[in-house]
Structure 1
Amino acid sequence: MTKLKGLTFLIAGCVLLLGCSGDKSYNDLQNYMQEIKARPVGEIEPLPTFRSHKTFRYGAIAMRSPFDAPLLAGSAESVAGRSTVEPPSENRKREYLESFNFAALSMVGTLSRTGQMWSLINDGSGGIHRVTVGNYLGKNYGRITSISNAKVDVIEIVPDGKGNWVERPRTLGLNEKD
């Protein structure tokens, strides 16, 4: 019985090999390749030329950020367009924290020594700075008016849109995550 099975497999294998050894001319494939090679050769389009774009310089850096709340006309003087606040002095030497937006600054702690209270301000780029009442911070001429353990009160001088200047109170709260 095992001889019969072995003989059956041998015959089946020979039949399969004979089926594969048929016509090896592949005429249809050769004709297709000749047709493709006979077609006219196309040209590759040249690369497009690079046009540089004009640079844009942002000129509204001193204006109110669109993410800050707009100024409210709280008094009759500001509605009438009269200013009770003097414009900020351009002759005063600017302090380091005045180069940062107010929104980027955060209070991270306080220090006190001999009755003097200091606040620690993170500038948003990894620096911690010690400030006290009277120091300036933020781009809108913000002057620190008071410091407590939980917050720093700041008065900014901002344009009211009518050519005058108004004071805007701001607060930096203690940020315990930093």
Structure 2
Amino acid sequence: MTRSFWIMLLAAGVGGLTACATSHEDLQQWMAEQRRQTVPKVTPLTEPTRYVPLAYVGGTAADAFGSDRLTQVLRRETGPLSVSASLVAPELNRRKEPLEAYPLDAMTMVGSLDRAGQKVALVKVDQLLHQVRQGNYLGQNYGRVMRISESDITLREIVQDAAGEWIERSTTLQLQENTK
């Protein structure tokens, strides 16, 4: 490639750029016309409300974060200790047993034994076998074992009804036959 070729190529490029610049005058004129005609519409902002801090008088008012205030509010809302609350109160104060961590539908009664004249149920949870006696607790609804037979375990559970009241209900965990 010779030097004259490069000069001709450069001249053609400059000529093309010059031609592009002159052909956009009508576009620039149209843009200027549009800028003059367009008027922005801005809605004014409303004045913000002024913050007025309240004075805190520490000596005369009750402590806003104290437990006394919470206790007063709870007493006002619940009134005297109701029958339903007294039903669940002893359950909240006792130590939980290991099988209360599992829901009843995760437990399976697989058999029963007679030990020294007392019925013992065999309950399977998470591939582990547990011995359950009358008076033990099962499930997450404060289920106390009331009766054990060869075919089922009868529980007394304490649950909340739709109104939020604590009620007792009877539930049965039945013997599951091995289906292979």
Structure of greater relative contact order (alpha carbons < 8 Å, 6+ residues apart): 1
- CA shift for structure 1 position 85: 6.5
Note the residue ranges of structure 2 that are not aligned, 5 or more in a row. 1-81
Give the counterpart of 1:115 among 117, 135, 139: 117
The AA in structure 2 aligned to 1:106 is T
The aligned runs of 1:81-120 (5 Å cut-off) are: 83=84, 86-88=87-89, 89-120=91-122
- CA shift for structure 1 position 82: 6.5
Identity of aligned residues (%): 41
* 1:50 counterpart residue number: none
* 1:9 counterpart residue number: none
Mapped to 2, the partners of 1:104 and 1:136 lie a distance apart of 15
1:129 aligns with 2:130: yes
* Cα 1:85/1:148, change in 2 over 3 Å: farther
* 1:171 counterpart residue number: 172
Q: Residues 87-141 of structure 1, C-alpha deviation per residue, up to 9 Å, x if partnerless?
A: 1421211000000011111100111122111000011x11110011100000000
The question of whether the paired residues in 2 share the 8 Å contact of 1:85 and 1:167 is answered with no
Q: How many residues align?
A: 97
Mapped to 1, the partners of 2:85 and 2:93 lie a distance apart of 20
Q: TM-score, normalised by structure 2?
A: 0.50
Q: TM-score, normalised by structure 1?
A: 0.50
The aligned runs of 1:1-178 (5 Å cut-off) are: 83=84, 86-88=87-89, 89-123=91-125, 125-177=126-178
Tell me the C-alpha RMSD between the 2 structures: 2.0
- CA shift for structure 1 position 164: 1.6
The question of whether the paired residues in 2 share the 8 Å contact of 1:84 and 1:166 is answered with no
The question of whether the paired residues in 2 share the 8 Å contact of 1:85 and 1:166 is answered with no
Note the residue ranges of structure 1 that are not aligned, 5 or more in a row. 1-80
Between stretches 138-147 and 109-118, larger displacement belongs to 109-118
Q: Hey, which of these two has a bigger chunk of helix by percent?
A: 2
* Cα 1:107/1:85, change in 2 over 3 Å: farther
Mapped to 1, the partners of 2:116 and 2:83 lie a distance apart of 42
* Cα 1:173/1:114, change in 2 over 3 Å: same
